[in-house]
């Protein structure tokens, strides 16, 4: 095929399948089902592959829930921090599970959805997160019900509970202790449930992760409380599957050499700007040539980071930014009116398919 024009996200289905096989193994060994967290990854051009290994999707809004229903097929878990009347009415038409964030929302809408499979998000007061911004149990957090008595009082009106309390948790001992704590703390209400979601943010596809021990923890919890356990992987499903392919447009010098790419952090890798982290470069490889990589927007701090690469960069050099699936395409934006990366997929058979490109009309129609 004709060479793709940069910038573009390139999703590799072979790498994706490797993660999905781990999810399949966990399902087989523990009995836990997995629903894809669309807030992290909603690029539905690979849903046909993902749906072969996963049980459905979980959402944070009406539009995500509708996308999961229309494009993924399978089970739809509809959660929202808050529903409007119109959103609740719409989502109740197709969602398999409707999960409320508060008892007040459950009280408000229970009369019209009492015949549905309902859930309640619970904040257990414990969490694991490297970043306060994403800590599900940070101080004054609005996510989930904190008061145990409210959870117990609502138990007869819901079928399940959602505990989302992790962010990039790769510590099995911490996770096992947390799940044990949740079991003990909520034992009286768990006996009334048919399902429990342990949320996302568990890095079980990390190289070397003790998957068998993880499976044992999940299976023990499921059997002890007679509940169907659900996981909500986002990053775990798509980590290390995607590159953002870019081209150097200019090289300038201000104390250091700075290569300006045809991409930019705020629009194409926003999470790195929010969390003040730097993306990894997959190509060129590591070496001794020092260079700062910067974006092409007018934001002064639009910097990918400083790197030491195995080859000097010049105008026209290709630079591949690694691990760019999670929280990227769902957050990309039109700041500065700069070109949006295309989306391409390297299929299982090795062919590369351009599935979406963007132009001026997309920019114009995104506005008013």
Check: pTM over 0.75? Answer yes or no.
yes
Mean pLDDT of 104-113: 98
Distance CA 249, CA 264 (A): 12
- Cβ atoms of 39 and 64 within 8 Å: the answer is yes
| Residues 6+ away with beta carbon under 8 Å from 272 | 265, 278, 279, 304
Mean pLDDT of 333-360: 97
Burial grade of 226 (CB within 10 A; 0-12, 13-18, 19 or more)? exposed
Distance CA 129, CA 97 (A): 27
pLDDT at residue number 29: 98
Range of the domain at 254: 240-365
Residue that is last in its domain, among 168, 203, 238:
238
Same domain, yes or no: 59 and 92: yes
Kindly report, residue by residue over 126-166, the tens digit of the pLDDT: 999 999 999 999 999 999 999 999 999 999 999 999 999 99
What is the sign, positive or negative, of the torsion defined by CA atoms of 107, 113, 117, 121? negative
Residue that is last in its domain, among 238, 269, 286:
238
Mean pLDDT of 213-228: 98
| Residues 6+ away with beta carbon under 8 Å from 77 | 35, 56, 57, 58, 59, 95, 96, 97, 99, 119, 197, 230, 232
Residue 248 covered by a domain: yes
Same domain, yes or no: 188 and 312: no
Same domain, yes or no: 130 and 155: yes
CATH (domain of 339): 2.40.37.10
Kindly report, residue by residue over 266-305, the tens digit of the pLDDT: 999 999 999 999 999 999 999 999 999 999 999 999 999 9
Q: Which residues of 317-339 are buried (b: 16+ CB within 10 A; e: fewer)?
A: bebbbebbbbbbbbbbeeeeebb
Same domain, yes or no: 205 and 218: yes
23: its two tokens: 């999810």
User: How many domains does the chain fold into?
Assistant: 2
Q: Report the relative pairing of strands 195-197 and 160-162 from DSSP bridges.
A: parallel
Residue 195 covered by a domain: yes
């Amino acid at each position: 095929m004709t060479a793709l024009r940069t910038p573009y996200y390139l999703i590799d289905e072979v790498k994706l399948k490797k993660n999905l096989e781990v999810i399949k193994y966990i399902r087989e060994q523990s009995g836990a089902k997995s629903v894809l967290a669309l807030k992290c990854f909603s690029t539905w051009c690979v849903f046909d592959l993902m749906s072969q290994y996963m049980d459905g999707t979980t959402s944070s809004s009406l539009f995500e829930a509708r996308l999961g229903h229309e494009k993924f097929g399978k089970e739809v878990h509809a959660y929202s921090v808050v529903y409007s009347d119109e959103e609740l009415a719409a989502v109740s038409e197709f969602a398999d599970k409707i999960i409320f964030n508060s008892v007040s929302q459950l009280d408000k809408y229970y009369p019209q959805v009492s015949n549905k499979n309902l859930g309640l998000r619970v904040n257990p007061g414990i969490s694991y997160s490297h970043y306060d911004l994403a800590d599900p149990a940070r101080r004054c957090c609005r996510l989930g019900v904190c008061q145990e008595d409210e959870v117990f009082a609502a138990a007869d009106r819901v079928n399940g509970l959602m505990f989302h309390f992790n962010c990039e948790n790769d510590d099995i001992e911490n996770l096992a202790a947390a799940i044990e704590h949740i079991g003990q703390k909520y034992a009286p209400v768990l006996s009334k449930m048919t399902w429990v979601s342990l949320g996302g943010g568990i890095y079980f596809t990390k190289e070397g992760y003790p998957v068998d021990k993880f499976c044992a923890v999940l299976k023990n919890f499921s059997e002890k409380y007679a509940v169907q356990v659900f996981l909500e992987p986002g990053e775990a499903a798509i980590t290390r599957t995607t590159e953002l392919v870019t081209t150097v447009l200019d090289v300038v010098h201000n104390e250091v050499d700075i290569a300006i790419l045809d991409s930019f952090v705020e629009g194409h890798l926003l999470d790195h700007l929010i969390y003040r982290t730097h993306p990894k470069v997959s190509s060129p490889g590591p070496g001794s040539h020092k260079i700062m990589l910067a974006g092409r927007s007018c934001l002064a701090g639009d910097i990918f980071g400083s790197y030491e690469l195995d080859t000097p960069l010049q105008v026209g050099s290709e630079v591949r930014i690694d691990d760019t699936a999670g929280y990227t395409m769902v957050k990309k934006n039109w700041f500065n009116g700069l070109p949006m990366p295309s989306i391409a997929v390297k299929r299982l058979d090795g062919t590369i398919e351009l599935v979406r490109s963007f132009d001026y009309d997309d920019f114009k129609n995104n506005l008013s």
